[in-house]
Structure 1
Amino acid sequence: MEKSRQQHILRWLRQQRKHGARGLRAASLLGFAGALVIIAQAWLLASLLQNLIVAQQPRGALLYEFILLLFCFILRAGLNYAREMAGYRAGVAIRRALRQQVLDRLNALGPAWIQGKPAGSWATLLLEQIEEMQEYYARYLPQMSLAVFVPFAILMAIFPINWAAGLILLATAPLIPLFMAMVGMGAAEANRRNFVALARLSGDFYDRLRGRETLRLFHRAKAEQQAIAESTTDFRERTMEVLRLAFLSSAVLEFFASLAIAVVAVYFGFSYLGELNFGHYGSGVTLFAGFLALILAPEFFQPLRDLGTFYHAKAQAVGGADALERFLTESLDNTVSNGTATVAFDTPVTLQARDLVVMTPQGGALSQPLNFTLAAGKRVALIGQSGAGKTALMNVLLGFLPYQGELRVNGHELRDISRDSWQQQLAWVGQNPTLPATTLRENLLLNSTVDETTLNRVLECAGVNAFLARLPQGLDTPLGDGGLGLSVGQAQRIAVARALLKPARLLLLDEPGSGLDSQSEQHVMNALQQAATQQTTLMITHQLHDLASWDEVWVMQSGQLVQQGSWQQLMAQDGLLREMVQHRQQEIV
């Protein structure tokens, strides 16, 4: 990673402190208080040793000092615990805010953009990479301020007693951050490569898991197993490289800290022997001064050693934030513009498109100029070969893809309408039903309120009643994550019932019969046709039967609408629809 890029990421990481500013301030203040307690504890301990060994005072006369020393031990432990808890809560708050930013951005980008990357990479971004920032915010950032304040406070306590010991500590202190930075730069780069490898491995593994049946049918299981093994080995080697650098930094810090403490001990040893008669301001070296310096010397280096221990947290945070910051920054240009107008829709909507060109999030064209009018209350079936542009048009109507030209809803330009306001008017059924709530009832209602009579009628129309009686708790049956325990067809019926229960002005259907057997599909389509008379409806379908009852049929080919009209009109003329019907009949024969 380039140094300028690393500095940019560090600035971005520091900007996120605002989400946990209160906890970080508390952690730093508690650390400062703990440092003062350390100095007081060392001072009391050195005084007790001076009085007991040199002054020969009885222990009973020093009871007050012993009580104060015990209190310092307890207070120091309490402050350390409180500092750890404050840092932990700050890290949790910041991670929660980062995840919310990612989820908000994904919501703004929409599914058309999200599907461009494997689901495993999004899971890595939301879980692994953000999780790795906990130690950076909880420990490393508070420790940075402590690494400056604590040594400074200890020097202020030692220099008035013995300037030579203070000078030794002051001279050796810069060696630790110097070598820590040298090792840390390599650790940050290793972590960045590690996270890239993890994201790639997660995405590849998830994609192979989803396509395991296809791989088995084409006898690719062995080859893919070998590919996963090689990717795993590569990731393991990268992880060991990161750990090796982390252990190296710890060893370097321990070496220089131990060396400095040894120099202080040697200085006082020769001073007591009368060989080094300097550093004590001419008053003679005392047992109090020696013990105070030797007790505080490890504490002088401890914040720096802790900072070195947590330095790998900084490297992990930089490696994890690389992809996260890039996603949050670069995806701004790909976000579909969200209008601010709130429009009241009291009747079914009318859609009018003039020279409408569907665009990718990156600015590429997905369709030819489209011109159509979807009148209020009309039911239109949209057909065409795969790749003709049907789903792209649907994503524009859902507000998930940008467009050029005009697309008006009851006279209002769609891009000027607030997305939340517009999507409240939509009911949508896709090919892959999603059941995010806990129970069947919650998935049907989605926080809305419906009377039992209406609910039972819709369940009957959508065919949910056909399997409802077999569920152990009826509508209150827990479904688990993603509707676990239901077949795809059953989940699709629930999605259809959910769409019918929503008081929407525009009903959008993308292959609603997918995943259903012929009997269930007929049941669901009858329910949708009945519901479609109450609102404007656009349905994507590959099924050509039963389209004669729809008001209009639109045919797409190569990103443009090549035919529009009723079933009878289009079948009476030469065109793509007639060719598709004839081809389908030949396949049946």
Structure 2
Amino acid sequence: MDKSLEKQLTSWLRLQKKACGFYLNLTVLFGLLTGLSLIIQAYLLSTILHGVIILELDKSHYTHEFILLLVLIPIRALLAFARERACFESGKRLRLQIRSAVLDKLTELGPAFIKGKPVGSWASIVLEQVEDLHDFYARYLPQIILAGFIPLTILIVVFPLNWAAGLILLATAPLIPMFMILVGMGAADANRKNFSALAKLSGHFMDRLKGLPTLKLFNRGDAEVKEIETASEEFRERTMSVLRMAFLSSAVLEFFSAVSIAVLAVYFGFSYLGHLNFGDYNGGVSLFIGLFVLMLAPEFYQPLRDMGTHYHAKAQAIGAAEELMALLEYRVESNSVESKSGGKEIKHMAVNDKAIDWQAGVEIEARDLKVLSHDGATLVGPVSFHLSPGQHVAIVGPSGSGKTSLLNAMLGFLPYEGSLKVNGLELSELDMTLWRRHLAWLGQDPQLFHGTVRDNVAMADVAMGDEAIKLLLEKANILEFVEQQSLGLSHPIGEQMAGLSVGQAQRIALARALGQDAHLYLLDEPTASLDSHSEQAVLSTLWQAMDKTSCLMVTHRLDQLHQMDTILVLDAGAIVQRGSFEDLNRAEGLFKLMQEDETDVEAQANKESNS
């Protein structure tokens, strides 16, 4: 990984630690108290052993030390428990905030942005990558402070007793962080590649799972199994690479700390044998000093070893942070329209929802409108059109002409240039949440959520009663099906609308849309996935619901356009024809060619069904 990028990601990670609250400081405090209790415990134990063995004092002489030693044991356990709880809470708070920020960002960017990646990739970001930030905040950041304070405190205690032992500790301590740095150079890059492989595997598997019936229909099952096997193997190799690095670093850190403690033990051993006579300030090396220093030695290296172990958590967090930072700091092209007055640019402020008379209906006016992608590329435009209150306008055109992109701009999910006014006010000036409350959207892929029929229909108004829900279901021609179920309105709807046909799901989604009391209906191929019976039922309900409201419908079914007031024909992002169904049917152009193609397709389908 590029060093500048790694530094940038590390800085971004450190900026997020405020989400941990005071629990991060509490983790450090409990860690320091645990270290101090260890020093006191080593002092008491050394004092007792020196007095009993060397000074040959009676055990009763150290009653207070024994009591204090016994008291320290549960205190250490409680401090260790409190530290674990505090570090877990700090990591949990961080994960909750980051996950909430990711979901809020995805809501802000909208479905047009989300569809740019497979569902599995987003699942990997929201779940695995956020989870992998936990140890960085819960373990690594507190351990950096502890790795400085605890060894320093032990050195302050050891040097007045024996300067040689202090020098051995001081000289061998850097070996652990030095090796930690060497290992960490490749750890972040290995973790980043591992996350990339996981996102690829998740997206690949989820897409194939959703399209399983289609794959079986075209006999592509075996080929896709091989593709999933290849992606799984790549993920396995990446994971093993990360694990090898983690195990190698842990083993070498243990080796260095063991060697350092052994050197210290050899020094004291030879000092007791009389072969070494330095480091004791000419006062001799007592049993107390030797035991005290040797008991502190493992605790001196332990914070450094823990920091080395948790350095893997830093590498893991850096690997996870790359996509998270890119997503959370993603900035969409501003929709704001600027006017100039006296050489100064004036930016319009957001308009309160009450400033618009919604009861008069919705009027939309687009002038030189350009719909842009999130990357700034032009998807539609420049186009100009007008939708009067109560008017029904259809948008037709070949696939890829920009029909859905235009609807996404009106929903506030895509940036635009030019002018797009709602009741005389620029769309960018409106609060998007309030604006969407006045819309009813129905697409070709109905989005129902895990829950009951009641939950899905009442999303527009959670206080909606059962009778009102049944009335909406009746308008959508789906009440009979719901009442036939044993649980009625409590009939469960599973993931991916399990247990419902496409037509049934579309009509439940229609019932939900009808409950919004919308002033503008935005319809994106609402009958594309329906059979002829369901199509007629849905359209009949829509025409009744939209009798006195505005409507903008994208469709490829030209036989549905007789009741539309105006038809806009879009091709390559530009309006090439406009007018009523009768006018366009008589004129030469793209609309007539599309109608002829549709007639040929229907004739071919009828011929095949008859044969």
Tell me if both proteins adopt one fold, taking TM over 0.5 as the criterion.
Answer: yes
**1:497 is aligned to 2:493:** no
Could you tell me how far apart the structure 2 residues matched to 1:387 and 1:524 are? 25
Could you tell me how far apart the structure 2 residues matched to 1:204 and 1:481 are? 19
SS of 2:252's partner is helix
Identical counterparts, % of pairs: 49
SS of 2:331's partner is helix
SS of 2:551's partner is strand
- Corresponding residue number in structure 2 for 1:567: 581
- Corresponding residue number in structure 1 for 2:409: 396
Aligned amino acid, residue 331 of structure 2: L
- Corresponding residue number in structure 1 for 2:9: 9
| Displacement of 1:336 | 6.0
Aligned amino acid, residue 228 of structure 1: I
**1:552 is aligned to 2:566:** yes
Paired residues of 1:109 and 1:336 also in contact (CA < 8 A): no
- Corresponding residue number in structure 1 for 2:386: 373
Could you tell me how far apart the structure 2 residues matched to 1:82 and 1:335 are? 47
Aligned amino acid, residue 566 of structure 2: E
- Corresponding residue number in structure 1 for 2:125: 125
Could you tell me how far apart the structure 2 residues matched to 1:426 and 1:179 are? 60
SS of 2:451's partner is coil
| Displacement of 1:174 | 0.9
Could you tell me how far apart the structure 1 residues matched to 2:304 and 2:600 are? 80
Instruction: Give the one of 366, 369, 372 matched to 1:353.
Output: 366
SS of 1:455's partner is helix
Instruction: Give the one of 331, 342, 353 matched to 2:352.
Output: 342
| Displacement of 1:516 | 2.4
The equivalences for 1:81-96 within 5 A come to: 81-96=81-96
Change (3 A) 1:224 1:477: closer
Aligned amino acid, residue 391 of structure 2: K
4+ aligned runs moved over 4 Å, structure 1: 333-339
Compare 122-131 and 556-565 and name the one that shifted more. Answer: 556-565
**1:580 is aligned to 2:594:** yes
Paired residues of 1:109 and 1:334 also in contact (CA < 8 A): no
| Displacement of 1:451 | 4.9
Q: Which consecutive residues of structure 2, in runs of 5 or more, have no partner in the other structure?
A: 338-348, 604-611
SS of 1:446's partner is helix
Paired residues of 1:496 and 1:512 also in contact (CA < 8 A): no
Q: Which consecutive residues of structure 1, in runs of 5 or more, have no partner in the other structure?
A: none
- Corresponding residue number in structure 1 for 2:199: 199
SS of 1:366's partner is strand
| Displacement of 1:550 | 2.7
| Displacement of 1:234 | 2.1
| Displacement of 1:546 | 4.2
Could you tell me how far apart the structure 2 residues matched to 1:534 and 1:22 are? 57
Number of aligned positions between the proteins: 588
- Corresponding residue number in structure 2 for 1:414: 427
Could you tell me how far apart the structure 2 residues matched to 1:42 and 1:470 are? 75
| Displacement of 1:541 | 1.7
Could you tell me how far apart the structure 1 residues matched to 2:214 and 2:592 are? 34
Compare 205-214 and 304-313 and name the one that shifted more. Answer: 205-214
Aligned amino acid, residue 239 of structure 1: T
Instruction: Give the one of 476, 484, 498 matched to 1:484.
Output: 498
Instruction: Give the one of 468, 492, 496 matched to 2:482.
Output: 468
Aligned amino acid, residue 151 of structure 1: P
Q: Deviations over 1:408-437 (max 9, x none)?
A: 110001112121121121111111111235
Paired residues of 2:460 and 2:512 also in contact (CA < 8 A): no
- Corresponding residue number in structure 1 for 2:331: 332
| Displacement of 1:144 | 0.8
| Displacement of 1:189 | 1.7
Compare 275-284 and 21-30 and name the one that shifted more. Answer: 275-284
Compare 544-553 and 282-291 and name the one that shifted more. Answer: 544-553
Aligned amino acid, residue 307 of structure 2: L
Aligned amino acid, residue 9 of structure 1: L
| Displacement of 1:130 | 1.4
Q: TM-score with structure 2 length normalisation?
A: 0.92
SS of 1:153's partner is helix
- Corresponding residue number in structure 2 for 1:158: 158
Could you tell me how far apart the structure 2 residues matched to 1:451 and 1:569 are? 46
Compare 472-481 and 570-579 and name the one that shifted more. Answer: 570-579
Q: Deviations over 1:439-483 (max 9, x none)?
A: 221211116133555433221110121310232321123323343
Q: Deviations over 1:151-171 (max 9, x none)?
A: 011111212222211111011
- Corresponding residue number in structure 2 for 1:116: 116
Could you tell me how far apart the structure 1 residues matched to 2:374 and 2:280 are? 72
Could you tell me how far apart the structure 2 residues matched to 1:236 and 1:337 are? 47
Could you tell me how far apart the structure 2 residues matched to 1:27 and 1:336 are? 45
Paired residues of 2:437 and 2:516 also in contact (CA < 8 A): no
Compare 372-381 and 542-551 and name the one that shifted more. Answer: 542-551
Q: Deviations over 1:226-252 (max 9, x none)?
A: 232222222212211111111111122
